[in-house]
Amino acid sequence: MTVQSTSLGRRDLFRLGLGLVVATGAAGCASGGGSSSGGTLIGPKSPKVEAAERARQIAGARRTSIKLTALQTEFDLGGVTANTWSYGELPGKEIRIRRGDLLNVELRNQLSQPTSIHWHGVALRNDMDGVPDLTQSEIVPGGSFTYEFTAPDPGTYWFHPHSGAQLDRGLYAPLIVEDPEDGGNYDTELVVVLDDWLDGLGRTPDAVFEELRAKGMPNMDHGSMPGMPAMPKSDLLGGDAGDVIYPHVLANGKVWKAPQTFAAKPGQRIRLRLINAAADTAFRVGVPGVPMTVTHADGFPVVPVELDVVLLGMGERLDCVVTVPDRTAPVLALAEGRGQFAQVLLSTGVAASTDNESLAAELAKLVVPEMNALQATDSVALPLREPDVTHDLVLEGPGDKYSWTINGKVYDPTEGLPIRSGQVVRLRMQNKSQMFHPMHVHGHTFQVRANGKTGPRRDTAIVLPGRELIVDFDADNPGQWLTHCHNIYHSEAGMMTVLSYVE
Ligand code: C2O
Ligand code: CU
């Protein structure tokens, strides 16, 4: 039996869940031989999902219970007051657990729209992945949902809704999974969450998305219209750096003029956990005059390397250890291609100017190394093997009505890319557009293969315009997993597909 995709609404797919048979031949570009033939979908409610969760559970795990409310609130961004949606703080209060712990979060929705929470980067059970209509029903206004899952891998993660453009409001927070072995190379840590901000200052992300749709193809007349701001451009990003103009960028919820101050001591080693929670902005980050030792990409360890400046696409995280100098030093985050920055001050007590515009201008001139050239440590690197199945993801846009496509199609949850448990899966992402795309895979941490070399393990990686990026992963987490660009406007406009376990 073959279910016609036209006869299936998104909601229906989730309700049918287990036992659904799809026409996987329609997925088109599978090139792994016979393994792309059709099969029964392994849905979020499959016993296989339950079994994978049991295999993750470890002895001595703790259970952490948290209650969250998504609601409308006002925040002082530092002389600017924004009326927005949040989990009560900006950024949301971090959740901190230990590797292997069971996390239980009850989310109550007091918003006027349905919502959800996606636990970005966590290899969790599929039915807790927080994708409305694919892995759960949306959480209606006034409703609630309890997420409960084991977090198997230590690292810097975060969470946000997977509903509309809600990510571009204040609905985001860090999720830190500690390793009992953490702490050897640093004395203290500081989480820095970066964001581009427009909500509640006369526009909403929903209105911005409608504008993009109405305009069709944005970023075409770069500053050529009198009185119109130039659209963001960046050589580092190989072309367009954004589709939306933001009045502010924030570090830990504050504009650059009113930065958060972190009390630090000279000589102290601080593990910076950098998280890019922006919707449309890549950030370059540096501490002028202070080298950063990069230790983790998207939570997974890399061979430590000392850099003056790093780059984070939307959704990405980097952990870097810095040694505090004998003066107050800013952690500067430049919105790539936008001439805007945000900062957090590592304060040694000596009063320092927060007027770091000239330092930011210097940072903008540095050469930023290729982040996909970071190398996974031997402990986590995936060995190079012939893939059992290869899927191409051709990234294009913007088309008519600002559509962004993968393999020529906008998102359709019934037309996933089939994979099977136990396979080595290769994704060949080809960017045929003028803009960079931070491509994110749910539920797995892939191995970047840059120029045949072993790159970092990551769950999100930038694919530059005109370039191809190859990533491999072990299909070891059954379910239906979204794969998409982490530019929220691109993903809303269609740049998403499903890695679909079948049997
Ligand atoms: Cu952080 Cu599907 O995304
Ligand atoms: Cu994109």
pLDDT of residue 451: 73
Global model pTM greater than 0.85? yes
Q: How far is the CA of 256 from the centre of ligand 1 (A)?
A: 27
Does residue 367 sit in helix, strand or coil?
coil
Query: Which ligand 1 atom is at minimum distance from the Cα of 442?
Result: 2
Whole-number Å distance between alpha carbons of 322 and 188: 10
Q: How far is the CA of 202 from the centre of ligand 1 (A)?
A: 26
* Edge-to-edge strand ranges of the sheet holding 460-463: 417-419, 496-501, 480-485, 437-441, 460-463
**Residue having the nearest C-alpha atom to atom 1 of ligand 1:** 120
pLDDT of residue 62: 97
pLDDT of residue 350: 73
What type of residue is 239? Answer: G
CB of 120 sitting under 6 A from ligand 1? yes
Whole-number Å distance between alpha carbons of 276 and 285: 10
CB of 48 sitting under 6 A from ligand 1? no
Query: Which ligand 1 atom is at minimum distance from the Cα of 460?
Result: 1
Which of the ligands is closest to the CA of residue 277? 1
Strand ranges for 77-208 from DSSP E = 81-86, 95-98, 102-109, 118-120, 144-150, 155-160, 173-178, 188-197
Q: How far is the CA of 323 from the centre of ligand 1 (A)?
A: 32
CB of 315 sitting under 6 A from ligand 1? yes
Whole-number Å distance between alpha carbons of 177 and 192: 15
Question: Over the chain (503 residues), what is each successive 10-residue block's mean pLDDT?
Answer: 34 43 36 49 98 96 97 98 98 98 98 98 98 97 98 98 98 97 95 98 96 77 60 96 97 97 97 98 97 98 98 98 96 97 94 85 95 96 96 97 97 96 98 98 95 91 97 98 98 98 96
Question: Taking a C-beta distance cutoff of 8 angstroms, is the pair 317, 156 a contact?
Answer: yes
Which of the ligands is closest to the CA of residue 314? 1
Question: Taking a C-beta distance cutoff of 8 angstroms, is the pair 418, 38 a contact?
Answer: yes
pLDDT of residue 353: 78
Whole-number Å distance between alpha carbons of 50 and 238: 43
pLDDT of residue 354: 79
Query: Which ligand 1 atom is at minimum distance from the Cα of 484?
Result: 2
Which of the ligands is closest to the CA of residue 237? 2
Q: How far is the CA of 392 from the centre of ligand 1 (A)?
A: 20
pLDDT of residue 187: 98
Whole-number Å distance between alpha carbons of 348 and 328: 5
Q: How far is the CA of 118 from the centre of ligand 1 (A)?
A: 6
